[in-house]
């Protein structure tokens, strides 16, 4: 196995991903890298959809550590696990590095394992080393797509994560996007409007903004994820369900209603939506009055979690996507990222798109229609949305 190939800094060479990053038009240092625990012993998890910059973020962190903190480059080990088959292969790689570490008289190291979800039973090898105290002075960072959630493997690390954290990495939120475009943190109205118009087209995918991916890559990644599940999901059925969701958005909808539209049974729709939620494609928003009593038997709103993702899936499903729907979805997504819960409310007189702790928000893509709302409801007209989104700060750590 060629450990050196993945660790060019051992020889004081630049990583190819960093070399490419230096050529990009839009460059940024992800804020989430500051949330990782670098205190031994730690097992961190970085999870999220494909193509959102998890690998690049880690490479930028490594660059930063080598410049400011790490004196011996062999203290940092990175490995892309894509070519490994099972936990035995992974164990071989880790043992080889631990042997090298010992020969270099390194007491504590940072170990980055990328694309672990491609390795069968990957967690068994790492837990074996943890149980035998082989990693007690180290920090391990495990990276993978959201499929890591679906196989429940993180649960095997209960009581074995030390100081580690679980970070969920999604496409950029609007605040980070604004800073990426203009290089400033302070909000200016004209810049905010310009950035928001771009955000609705490109979403938070910096790779799309830098012309490194296309919408077809997002659809292709989803198809691959669906086919790789233990209980494989048919991409064609997912396409039809997503088309029905987009066509009915932003109105609340039931599983039964979607099932009738697609021509399948209700339980199948529920199963697919559950998977799409775990894949971080969809966000389900149940009914609740003031965020207190959640009524699961009521229709629910279903949002797609990023504008580019929504455009790609609408194109795939051959349905029209209105900008007014994106306005509502973007606000709901940002509030969910901050509060980790979100609901909607509807009465005979009015509807509230987002109910979160201490806040109720209604989104109007154009001007307010003059309908009377309770005094505590924030009404966002189209031009209000960018400033509102820019003010929202959130953390990526789930726990």
Which tens digits make up the pLDDT trace of 101-158? 999 999 999 999 999 888 989 999 999 999 999 999 999 999 987 665 545 788 889 8
Q: The pTM is what?
A: 0.93
Q: Is 370 or 350 the better-scoring residue by pLDDT?
A: 350
d(CA 278, CA 337): 15
Tokens 């090898």 found at:
125
Fold type of domain 174-390? Arc Repressor Mutant, subunit A (1.10.10)
Mean predicted lDDT score pLDDT of the chain:
93
d(CA 360, CA 380): 11
Q: Where does the chain have alpha helices with state H? A: 16-21, 54-68, 87-103, 122-131, 147-150, 174-182, 189-202, 206-209, 215-228, 235-248, 255-262, 266-278, 307-317, 323-339, 385-390
| pLDDT score recorded for residue 148 | 59
- Specify the 3-state DSSP secondary structure of 45: strand
Q: Which two tokens stand for residue 312?
A: 């790609």
Q: What is the mean pLDDT of residues 90-103?
A: 97
Q: Which CATH superfamily is domain 4-168 in?
A: P-loop containing nucleotide triphosphate hydrolases (3.40.50.300)
Q: Domains of the chain: which residue ranges?
A: 4-168, 174-390
d(CA 126, CA 87): 8
List, for residues 207-244, the tens digit of each pLDDT value: 999 999 999 999 999 999 899 887 889 999 999 999 99
């Amino acid at each position: 196995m060629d450990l050196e190939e993945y660790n060019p800094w051992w020889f004081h060479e630049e990583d190819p991903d960093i070399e490419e990053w230096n050529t990009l038009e839009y460059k940024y240092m992800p804020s989430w890298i500051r949330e990782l625990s670098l205190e031994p012993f730690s097992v961190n998890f970085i999870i999220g959809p494909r193509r959102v910059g998890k690998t690049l973020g880690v490479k930028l962190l490594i660059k930063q550590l080598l410049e400011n903190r790490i004196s011996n480059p062999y203290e940092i080990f990175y490995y892309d696990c894509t070519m490994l088959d099972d936990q035995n292969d992974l164990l071989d790689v880790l043992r080889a590095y631990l042997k090298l570490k010992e020969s270099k008289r390194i007491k504590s190291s940072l170990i980055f394992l990328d694309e672990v979800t491609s390795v069968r039973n990957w967690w068994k090898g790492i837990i074996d080393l943890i149980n035998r105290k082989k990693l007690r002075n180290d920090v391990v960072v495990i990276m993978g797509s959201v499929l890591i959630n679906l196989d429940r493997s993180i649960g095997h690390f209960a009581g074995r994560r030390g100081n580690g954290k679980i970070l969920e990495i999604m496409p950029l939120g609007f605040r980070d996007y604004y800073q990426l475009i203009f290089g400033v943190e302070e909000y200016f109205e004209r810049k905010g409007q310009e950035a928001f118009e771009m955000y609705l087209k490109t979403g938070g995918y910096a790779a799309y903004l830098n012309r490194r991916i296309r919408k077809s890559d997002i659809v292709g990644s989803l198809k691959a994820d669906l086919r790789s599940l233990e209980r494989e999901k048919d991409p064609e059925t997912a396409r039809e369900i997503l088309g029905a969701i987009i066509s009915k958005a932003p109105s609340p909808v039931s599983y039964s209603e979607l099932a009738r539209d697609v021509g399948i049974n209700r339980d199948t729709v529920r199963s697919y939506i559950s998977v799409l939620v775990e894949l971080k494609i969809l966000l389900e928003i149940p009914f609740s009055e003031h965020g207190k009593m959640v009524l699961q038997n009521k229709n629910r709103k279903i949002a797609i979690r990023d504008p580019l993702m929504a455009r790609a899936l609408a194109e795939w499903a051959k349905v029209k996507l209105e900008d007014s729907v994106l306005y509502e979805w973007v606000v709901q997504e940002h509030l969910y990222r901050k509060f980790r819960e979100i609901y909607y409310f509807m009465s005979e007189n009015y509807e509230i798109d987002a109910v979160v702790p201490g806040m109720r928000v209604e989104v109007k893509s154009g001007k307010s229609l003059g309908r009377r709302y309770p005094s505590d409801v924030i009404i966002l007209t189209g031009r209000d949305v960018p400033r509102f989104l820019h003010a929202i700060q959130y953390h990526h750590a789930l726990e």
